[in-house]
Amino acid sequence: MATVTFDKATRIYPGGEKPAVDGLDIEVGDGEFLVLVGPSGCGKSTSLRMLAGLEDVNAGAIRIGERDVTHLPPKDRDIAMVFQNYALYPHMTVADNMGFALKIAGVNKAEIRKRVEEAAKILDLTEYLARKPKALSGGQRQRVAMGRAIVREPQVFLMDEPLSNLDAKLRVQTRTQIASLQRRLGVTTVYVTHDQVEAMTMGDRVAVLKDGLLQQVDSPRNMYDKPANLFVAGFIGSPAMNLIEVPIVDGGVKFGNALVNVERDAVQAAADKGDRTVTVGVRPEHFDIVNGESEGKSLSKDAPAGLAVTVNVVEELGADGYVYGSAKVGDEDKDVVIRVGGRAIPEKGSVLHVVPRAGETHVFATSSGERLSD
Amino acid sequence: MRHGKYRFIIGFLAIPLALYGVLVISPFVQDFQISLTDWTGLTPDKHYIGFENYRKIIHNHLFWQSLWHNVLLLLIVPVVTLALGLFFAFMLNVGGRRKGSASVAGVWGSGGYKIIFFFPQVLSVAVIAILWQQIYNPDPDEGLLNVLLKGVGIGGQTWLGDPKLALACIMAVMVWANVGFYVVLFSAGMASIPTEIYEASLLDGANRSTTFFRVTLPLLADTVATGWVYMGIIAMDAFAYVQLMSVNDGGPNEKTDVVPLLLFKTAFRDNSQYGLAAAMGVAMLIVTLVFAALTLRLARRDRLEF
């Protein structure tokens, strides 16, 4: 078992100016499950491949435990990797695939068999040990790839989007299996995905990357509750957080026809930077519908309180529903997503008045994207 | 539509089958017929002599020697050519040291090497034969090899004139002429193996030779088997190389004679024994069929999917 440290690790592809991974600084604890997440091209896979030794490190260092592995070849790093397309050896049986690394390492046959059978048992592969990969289903191949990693008993597991090739239902199922397997084995794991749901559900901590730059590393809960900037706010959560640019007024920010209290410090900080607006983020489930009732703090008496949202589309999911509507903020129409109860689905074309729930708003500086509220 | 099906199939099959029958099957049949006669090929008279020609072949020392040379070619040339082709292709595609972005790459300058390796393939056999005749020229001041040997202080050889070396010299030329094609063929085969598989084997701790023997070679087995058949056919023939390069057509001392050349000489030179030559053709056909059957038998295996 070991920790993994990225110490200002940087990767610049030959011929490129801009680093694919720029000064990545992450410390992964012993036995921790860290998920690297971000849109495609953000450098998450490159980071993982740097850790695997499949990609050079141009600056900075990578350490596994106390060992500096920056320039070690992959085989000397004591890691195992699960590839997106599994990369099973097509000409070998499942058992040979899983035991290949041990065979190269010169482990004796009885020991290899014992370890392969143990892993097969954990992964429910015992009856397939004699088969070739092509005679297996996608989910089974995925488990063989996992098995190949487990058998080696490495210090670190690396997983590069291992669930992307599975169908939706199997993906959800396998997600839980991998997470529980990792907890059971207690092996430090770095997991790459573009799917923020996977990131949120599997990781002990989540690291969000964008354009090769680390945006935030935090537990899934904190990532959701306190996104560090506009990008993380928009990326984490499904449907995405509503991000609305609103003008700063005395005592808070003007949100449609309502005044929303935000922390004085936050607004002050924005004003100090010369911004006249801030971007307020509200998650779909944090809107309260205030139709007709005047409990909100109306700015003008003759119009109902809150932000008027015209319903365009309603997604009914059973337990609840998502309203996709548009609202006039300032002079432009903004798309807004609101979660409503499953028994109170509004009609298409109707108008809802909503106010953000107190204490559940996020305030970001419009210019820098930094989080202002606490 | 159902009753029209056979008409449709026959319509398409008739022409190719007819062509195949006339151009491929009928010469074989004809060859067998001629092999049972004493026809000279020059006169209209032809007498049925039963299996007399085959009896002659069986007792002909030269035929067995030529066949042995063919077998030697069949055993050595494909093995050496394919082994070299695999080795070069591996070095050009995955055997290089890791550099820059790619974790799996060929040796430096592999693009240029590929062209150089393929170069002999664009030359005709006649050009290759003349070229190598000059290289093998025994003159210590003109033959390229002998000049080089003299340069390092070793005495020259007579090469193609040496009964012990002649066949090996011709084999070397056949390998040289064909290896480039297999470098390209195997390169294409290796390019179709996903990079992740090489990366997985790197992570599993495989070095170059383990990767080659445990991963690349098994994954290329189909391509190698195909190459084996092609090379086998070239080795069974070898007519052009031997005819053009050897001294006295298969010399010295018939040490480079091969069955196709012997057949040619029998039919068109040595008293025009056309019937005897036809019998040799039938014998050659049988040997070729055995080779093809064995190869296909050994090459039969599961198709691999990536």
pLDDT in tens, B232-265: 888 888 888 888 888 877 778 788 888 888 888 8
For residue B222, list chain A residues with Cβ-Cβ distance below 8 A: none
Same domain? A184 vs A215: yes
> Does a structural domain hold residue B273?
yes
Tell me the two tokens of residue B237: 């023939």
Q: Where are the beta strands (DSSP E) in B76-150?
A: none
Nearest CB partner across the interface for A87, out of B98, B200, B205 = B200
Among residues of chain B, what percentage have pLDDT more than 70?
92
pLDDT in tens, A332-367: 888 999 999 888 888 888 988 888 887 888 888 888
Q: Which pLDDT value is given to residue A304?
A: 65
CA–CA separation, B205 and A105 (whole Å): 7
Cα–Cα separations (whole angstroms), residue B297 to B75, B82, B225, B234, B301 = 17, 19, 10, 20, 9
Same domain? A58 vs A205: yes
Nearest CB partner across the interface for A89, out of B197, B202, B221 = B197
> Does a structural domain hold residue B24?
no
Q: What is the CATH number of the domain that holds A62?
A: 3.40.50.300
- Min distance A256 CA to chain B CA atoms (Å): 51
Cα–Cα separations (whole angstroms), residue A173 to A128, A167, A169, A179, B129 = 20, 10, 6, 10, 67
Q: Which helix (H) or strand (E) holds B253?
A: none
Q: Where are the beta strands (DSSP E) in A221-271?
A: 242-249, 252-255, 258-260
Structural domain boundaries enclosing A43: 4-234
Q: Which pLDDT value is given to residue B96?
A: 64
> Does a structural domain hold residue B292?
yes
Hey, is the C-beta of B214 within 8 angstroms of any chain A C-beta?
Answer: yes
> Does a structural domain hold residue A138?
yes
Residue A67 phi/psi, 5° resolution? -85, 130
CA–CA separation, B268 and B260 (whole Å): 12
Between B146 and A168, where is the model more confident?
A168
Same domain? A228 vs A178: yes
Q: End of a domain among A186, A201, A234?
A: A234
Answer yes or no: is pLDDT of A298 > 70. no
Same domain? A163 vs A74: yes
Q: Which pLDDT value is given to residue A301?
A: 52
Same domain? A16 vs A85: yes
pLDDT in tens, A56-90: 899 999 999 989 999 888 888 999 999 999 999 99
Answer yes or no: is pLDDT of A262 > 80. no
Same domain? A227 vs A248: no
Dmax (CA) of chain A: 84
Q: Which pLDDT value is given to residue A248?
A: 80
Q: What mean pLDDT is reported for chain B?
A: 84
pLDDT in tens, A131-168: 999 999 999 999 999 999 999 999 999 999 999 989 98
Tell me the two tokens of residue A212: 């090769």
Q: Quote the number of domains for chain A.
A: 2
> Does a structural domain hold residue A200?
yes
> Does a structural domain hold residue A65?
yes
What integer is the mean pLDDT of B161-176? 87
A86: closest chain B residue by CA: B196
Q: What mean pLDDT is reported for chain A?
A: 88
Q: End of a domain among A187, A213, A234?
A: A234
A74: closest chain B residue by CA: B203
Dmax (CA) of chain B: 81
**Which residues are CB-neighbours of A8 under 8 A, at least 6 positions away?**
A23, A24, A25, A59, A60, A61
> Does a structural domain hold residue B278?
yes
**Half-sphere CA count of A303, side-chain side, radius 13 A:** 13
Between B13 and A258, where is the model more confident?
B13
Same domain? A255 vs A170: no
Band of residue A226 on the pLDDT scale cut at 50, 70, 90: very high
> Does a structural domain hold residue B47?
no
Q: What is the CATH number of the domain that holds A286?
A: 2.40.50.140
Answer yes or no: is pLDDT of B140 > 80. no
ipTM score of complex: 0.83
Band of residue B114 on the pLDDT scale cut at 50, 70, 90: confident
Q: Which of B196, B204, B303, B304 to mutate to test the interface with A (most CBs of A within 10 A)?
A: B204
> Does a structural domain hold residue B143?
yes
pLDDT in tens, A227-257: 999 999 999 988 899 998 888 877 677 777 7
Q: End of a domain among A177, A200, A234?
A: A234
Same domain? A294 vs A319: yes
* B106: three-class secondary structure by DSSP: coil
Measured over the CA atoms of residue A235, residue A237, residue A238 and residue A242, the dihedral's sign is negative
Same domain? A259 vs A361: yes
Structural domain boundaries enclosing B147: 60-299
> Does a structural domain hold residue B119?
yes
Window 56-85 of A, Cβ < 8 Å to B: 56, 73-75, 79-81, 83-85
Q: Which pLDDT value is given to residue B306?
A: 62
Q: What is the CATH number of the domain that holds B93?
A: 1.10.3720.10
Q: Quote the number of domains for chain B.
A: 1
Nearest CB partner across the interface for B203, out of A79, A105, A133 = A79
Same domain? A321 vs A345: yes
Same domain? A248 vs A217: no
* A358: three-class secondary structure by DSSP: coil
- Min distance B234 CA to chain A CA atoms (Å): 30
> Does a structural domain hold residue A373?
no
> Does a structural domain hold residue B23?
no
Q: Which pLDDT value is given to residue A296?
A: 46
